[in-house]
Amino acid sequence: MNLIYEFKDGSYLHFQTGRFDDWQVEYVSGESTDYGETRSPFDADYFQDLKEYSAVLGSSIVQQDVMFLADMVQTNAEQTQGHPDIVPGDIEQIKMISQKYELNFGEKGLKTFMTLYSTMISEWHRKPYDRPSTYKHLLKITGALQTIRGEQSPREAAAWTNDKKFFERIQEAKRLGIDAERIVNFRIQ
């Protein structure tokens, strides 16, 4: 087991072997089920959380926090030739970001942002068709922002890219203000 983070309630996130790689994120509930049962979280799960946070704290705050995570992952990937991993300094930053969510959502905010961070990292290691991912964490950011802005439901945002062509995915990311070229043009060594 490759532990990502253990929460105060004994639940934790870890990477496990999945269908495409050894970087599938799994949430293990332990004694607490406030964030659901043991499972690999779906995009729609944490997109739903982001939607709830936006309704209470405002979409600009939540969007800023998601973009901060995305930039941390991108910088991590650039510093490791495209092989990002969990970084203790990043975890400390996520804990600081999550403090603003504690009053209304308890530890759920930390769980959501740790899950999103971990799944963004896992996308860099995903190898469908035995080659590195083209999009890396771009589609996670796109779906998160579509949801936060109220443009798509969490489920619609999670499924949005399924029938889209490369150009459409890049154009949507640009429309949302994401530096798509920085992500997709980075070559994994």
Confidence band for 139, pLDDT divided at 50, 70 and 90: very high
Closest CA to 11 of 46, 48, 36, 41: 36
| Residue 37 confidence (pLDDT) | 84
> Is the pLDDT confidence value at 1 over 70?
no
> Is the pLDDT confidence value at 120 over 70?
yes
| Residue 181 confidence (pLDDT) | 95
The angle formed by the CA atoms of residues 17, 11 and 120, to the nearest 5 degrees, is 50
Assess contact for 43 and 138: CB atoms under 8 A.
no
| Residue 167 confidence (pLDDT) | 92
| Residue 8 confidence (pLDDT) | 92
For the stretch 46-97, pLDDT in tens is 999 999 999 999 999 999 999 999 999 999 999 999 999 999 999 999 999 9
Instruction: Give the residues across from 25 on adjacent strands.
Output: 15
> Is the pLDDT confidence value at 128 over 90?
no
At position 111, the amino acid (one-letter code) is K
